Chain A
Amino acid sequence: MELSPQAAKPVIDVRGLTKDYYLGEIVVPALRGIDLQIFPGEMVAIMGPSGSGKSTLMNMIGCLDSPTSGEYYLDSLLVSDLHDDDLAVVRNQKIGFVFQKYNLLPRIDAIENVALPLRYSKNTDNMRQRAEAALQAVGLGDRMRHKPNELSGGQQQRVAIARALVNEPAILLADEPTGNLDSQSGREIMELLLKLNQQQNTTIVLVTHDPTVAANAERIVQLFDGLVKSPEAIS
C-alpha cells in the first residue's frame, strides 16, 4: 500500500529555522527562516551558490549544529532543542552521512570503517555481518579487507555509503558526494544512490552545486541568501 509522499508524515520537517553566526559584535544571519518538508522515500537536492546557506542547512538537517530559532522535527522527533550527547545518538540512529572527501579512517580496513557507527550504537550485535551486508549492498563484497588507500576514489565513496547505511538511518545526507570523483566514478555513485532510493526507498538529501547531479533528484530546493528561493517542485 504505497502512499503518495505528501500524504505521509514528513521525515524532515523544518519550520522557521534561523541560524545566526557571530563574528565578534557583528551578527551574520546564515539562515533566515527556512520551511522545508521532506517525505520518506524522496530524493531531494539542495542547491545554491556559495554563501547561500546550504552548508549551514545541511549541518542543521544532519544535527551537527543547533539552530538559533525555529523547529526541526526529524522522524517526528523534535531535535532542535536537544543537547550534544542526545544529538550524537540521533546522528547515530537516524542519519547516514556521505561526505565529499569520504572521511574514512585510514588505519582500518573497509569493513571496520563500515562498522564504526555500530560501535557507537546501543545495538552492537552481529556487527560484522551487518557491516558485510552493507558492503555487499554497495557492490564491494570483494574489497572488505582493503584499507582506504588500497581503494579507488569511487570505491572509497562506496565504503562511505555503506557506512552511512549500516545503521538503517531515516535519511541519507550526502554533501557533494561526487565532488572529488572523476565523471565516470561520479556517475556510478549517482547510479548507486538512485538505486538505493528506488529499490530500498531510502530518503536521500543531496547537497550540491552541480546541476547535473541535482538533476537526478525528484525535487530541487534552491537556497539564496538564507531563504528557500523557488517553488519546491521542479521535476
Chain B
Amino acid sequence: MKFLQALKEAIASLSANKTRSLLTVLGIVIGVGAVIGVLSIGQGAEASIIGQIESIGTNVIYVYRGNSAKNVTNPRRLTLTDADALSNRVRAPHILNVASVLFGQTSVRFGDESTQTSIMGVAENYAEVTDLDLSEGSFFTESNVTSRSSVVVIGPELAERLTGRRTGIIGTTVHINNYPFRVVGITTAKGGSQFSNPDLDVYIPITTMQMRVQRQSDTNAVDFLLIQAQDSQSIDLAIQEAKSILRTTHRLTSRQPDDFTLTNQEDILSIANSITKVLTIFLAGIAAISLLVGGIGIMNIMLVSVTERTREIGLRKALGARKFDIQLQFLTESAMLSVFGGLIGIGLGWLLGKIVGLIAANSGTPLIPEISLKSVLLATLFSLAVGLFFGWYPALRAANLEPVVALRYE
C-alpha cells in the first residue's frame, strides 16, 4: 500500500516535468537499446553461422595441408592417392566416403555478364558427402568425371547474377576461364555471409578443373579432402583411422608431427561459437558504458530535483514523514525513470535488430536477430539496478535534510 502510494506520487512528479524526465531517461534508452540490439544481432549471427556450418553435414571431417599447432616444414600436398587410401574399407572401417576438392577462384561469364567467384573441382560423391541439394537438374556423374566433361553445377545466386533467373537455365552454356561449360544443375539456396556464400559457388568435375582451370603439372594434388564418417558417433574413430593412414601415405616417422590437419564440424562450430560470443560480449560491454553514463544523468537530475523540492521535503517531514518515507519516494522516482528508459530501450534495441536484419536480408545474408526473454529480463533488472544505485545518494540526501532548514529554504 505504501509502495503503491510512492509509485503513484512518482508518476505524478515525473509527469509534472515531462521534457526533463524524457531527456533524463535518454541515456538509459540509448544504453539499453544498444545492449539489446547488439545482443540480438549477436545471437542472430551465431544462429546464422551455426546454421551454415551445420548445413555442410554433421559427420564430415575436413583434411587440409599443414599443421598450425606444430612447426612443420614442407608439408606434403594432399593427393588423390591419399583419398584412395582413406577409402580403403578394411583399413578405415568407419569412413564412409571421401571427397577430394580442388579449390580456386575463377571468372564465370554468361553473355556479357561476368563475375568472379570460387570454384570447386570435385568428384561425383561430393554432393552426397556434403548433403548438397539441387533445386534443379542433377549433379554430374562418375562418367562426367572420368571423361573430363565440361559440365557445371552453379549456385542459385550466381545463376541470377549471370542470367537474371534462378530457374530454367539447365542446358545453358556459361564460360569458365573462357571454356564453355554446360549447366547441369542449380544448388538449393542456403544463404550465406559476405565472405562465404555457397549460393555463389561453382562445381565442376575435378578432372576438368585440373585440365581447364588450374592446368597443374601435378594431376594428383588436391586442396582438401572431406571425409564422411559412418555416423556422428564414429567421428572420433574415423579421425584416428584417417590420421594413421595419412601418416603412412605421407611416410612420416614416429618423431615427425602430422603435416596435415583434421578438423570436424564440432571444432569449427565451437570456434565460431566462441568468436561470436566474445564479439557479442565485447560490443555489449561497450554499449553498457552508455548505461553508466545514463545512470549518472539520472543521479544528476535527482540531485537537482532534491534541491528544487527542499521545501516540499521539509513540509513532508513536518507532517510526519520519516527518513525512510522520503528515501522511498526519491528512490521510486529514480528507479521508475530508469526502468521506463529501459523499457523504451528494449523497444529501440528490437528496432535496431530489425533494421540490421532487414539490411542483412537485402544483402543476401540471412541474419534473423533474436531477442531472448532472458536479455529483456536482464535489461529491465539492470536498468532497475542502475536507477536504485544512482538514485541512492540523492535519496539519502533528501532523507537527511533537517526539517527546520528545509522548511526555511527559499
Contacts of A121 in B (CB 8 A): 320
Contacts of B323 in A (CB 8 A): 84-85, 88
Cβ of B57 < 8 Å from any Cβ of A?
no
Contacts of B5 in A (CB 8 A): 119
Cβ of B93 < 8 Å from any Cβ of A?
no
Contacts of A88 in B (CB 8 A): 317, 320-323
Selected contact of A105 from candidates B315, B324, B404, CB within 8 Å: B315
Selected contact of B318 from candidates A91, A108, A119, CB within 8 Å: A91
Selected contact of B404 from candidates A64, A92, A108, A124, CB within 8 Å: A64
CB distance from A185 to the nearest CB of B (A): 21
Q: Decide if B320 touches A117 in the complex (CB within 8 Å).
A: yes
Q: Decide if B319 touches A92 in the complex (CB within 8 Å).
A: yes
Tally of contact residues, A, Cβ under 8 A: 25
Q: Decide if A97 touches B403 in the complex (CB within 8 Å).
A: no
Select from chain A the residue with minimum beta-carbon distance to B315: A103
Cβ of B115 < 8 Å from any Cβ of A?
no
Selected contact of A120 from candidates B312, B319, B404, B407, CB within 8 Å: B319
CB distance from B408 to the nearest CB of A (A): 9
Cβ of A93 < 8 Å from any Cβ of B?
yes
Contacts of B13 in A (CB 8 A): 107
Cβ of A62 < 8 Å from any Cβ of B?
yes
CB distance from A87 to the nearest CB of B (A): 9
Q: Which of B13, B312, B319 has the most CB of A within 10 A?
A: B319
Cβ of B325 < 8 Å from any Cβ of A?
yes
Chain B window 1-20, contacts with chain A (Cβ cutoff 8 Å), 1 for yes, 0 for no: 10001000000110010000
Q: Decide if A64 touches B318 in the complex (CB within 8 Å).
A: yes
Q: In the complex the two chains form, what is the Cα distance from A73 to B404 in whole Å?
A: 20
Selected contact of A163 from candidates B312, B319, B321, B325, CB within 8 Å: B319
CB distance from B4 to the nearest CB of A (A): 11
Select from chain A the residue with minimum beta-carbon distance to B319: A117
Cβ of B311 < 8 Å from any Cβ of A?
yes
Cβ of A65 < 8 Å from any Cβ of B?
yes
Cβ of B316 < 8 Å from any Cβ of A?
yes
CB distance from A198 to the nearest CB of B (A): 26
Selected contact of B319 from candidates A85, A97, A108, A124, CB within 8 Å: A97
Q: Decide if A89 touches B320 in the complex (CB within 8 Å).
A: yes
Q: Decide if A116 touches B316 in the complex (CB within 8 Å).
A: yes
Selected contact of B12 from candidates A92, A103, A108, CB within 8 Å: A108
CB distance from B12 to the nearest CB of A (A): 6
CB distance from A16 to the nearest CB of B (A): 21
Q: In the complex the two chains form, what is the Cα distance from A93 to B318 in whole Å?
A: 11
Contacting residues of chain B (348-386) with chain A, CB-CB under 8 angstroms: none
Using A89-B322, A105-B312, A120-B316 as known contacts, say yes or no to A59 and B12 having CB atoms under 8 A apart: no
CB distance from A100 to the nearest CB of B (A): 11
Q: In the complex the two chains form, what is the Cα distance from A99 to B318 in whole Å?
A: 11
Selected contact of A124 from candidates B1, B311, B317, B320, CB within 8 Å: B1
Q: In the complex the two chains form, what is the Cα distance from A84 to B315 in whole Å?
A: 15
Q: Decide if B319 touches A64 in the complex (CB within 8 Å).
A: no
Q: Decide if B322 touches A85 in the complex (CB within 8 Å).
A: yes
CB distance from B180 to the nearest CB of A (A): 83
Q: In the complex the two chains form, what is the Cα distance from A57 to B5 in whole Å?
A: 34
Q: In the complex the two chains form, what is the Cα distance from A69 to B323 in whole Å?
A: 24
Q: Decide if A107 touches B319 in the complex (CB within 8 Å).
A: no
Chain B window 290-316, contacts with chain A (Cβ cutoff 8 Å), 1 for yes, 0 for no: 000000000000000000000110011
Contacts of A92 in B (CB 8 A): 319-320
Q: Which of B1, B322, B402 has the most CB of A within 10 A?
A: B322
Q: Decide if A120 touches B325 in the complex (CB within 8 Å).
A: yes
CB distance from A175 to the nearest CB of B (A): 9
CB distance from B288 to the nearest CB of A (A): 35
Q: In the complex the two chains form, what is the Cα distance from A93 to B407 in whole Å?
A: 19
Q: Decide if B320 touches A120 in the complex (CB within 8 Å).
A: yes
Contacts of B315 in A (CB 8 A): 99, 103, 105
Q: Which of B315, B323, B325 has the most CB of A within 10 A?
A: B315
Q: List 19 A-B contacts (CB under 8 A).
A: A64-B317, A64-B404, A64-B407, A65-B402, A65-B404, A84-B322, A85-B323, A88-B317, A88-B323, A89-B322, A91-B318, A97-B318, A103-B311, A103-B315, A107-B13, A108-B12, A116-B316, A119-B5, A121-B320
Give the B-binding residues of A (Cβ under 8 A). Answer: 59, 62, 64-65, 84-85, 88-89, 91-93, 97, 99, 103, 105, 107-108, 116-117, 119-121, 124, 163, 167
CB-CB nearest 8 A-B residue pairs: A92-B320, A120-B320, A88-B322, A117-B319, A85-B322, A103-B315, A64-B403, A65-B404
A85-B322, A105-B312 are known; give 9 further A-B pairs, CB within 8 A. A64-B404, A89-B322, A91-B319, A103-B311, A103-B315, A105-B315, A107-B16, A108-B12, A116-B316
